Amino acid sequence: GQQLNQSPQSMFIQEGEDVSMNCTSSSIFNTWLWYKQDPGEGPVLLIALYKAGELTSNGRLTAQFGITRKDSFLNISASIPSDVGIYFCAGSRTSYGKLTFGQGTILTVHP
């Protein structure tokens, strides 16, 4: 089946630092999405990317849809304690929108 490889698995950073995480796939996706999940909650959409090469920002978050359609990255600038959580990439190939999720990146921010 389709697999997304997300890295790193976890990150421990100081408040104020920038963060970068990425996802790669052996197959093409037509949509890339980035979600954040807090403990006991469902994933919350951060950024959606629909075109190869697209670079999109949402506040301190920036994400790019790779030109090959097989990868995406998410950057968080000037991290703050509330950025703590698990970040998931997700890709979709079909028009009905089934999502394939990466394994997640656990982000810890030290004040």
Taking CB under 8 A as the criterion, the residue among 22, 25, 31, 105 binding other proteins is 31
Which of 35, 47, 37, 42 minimizes the C-alpha distance to 85? 37
CB of 38 to other proteins, least distance (A): 10
Taking CB under 8 A as the criterion, the residue among 7, 20, 24, 48 binding other proteins is 48
**Cβ contacts of 94 within 8 Å, gap of 6 or more:** none
* Cα distances (angstroms) measured from residue 60 to each of 78, 86, 89, 107: 7, 17, 17, 15
CB of 14 to other proteins, least distance (A): 26
Q: Residue numbers of the site for other proteins (CB under 8 A)?
A: 1, 30-31, 33, 35, 40-45, 48, 50, 88, 90, 92, 94-104
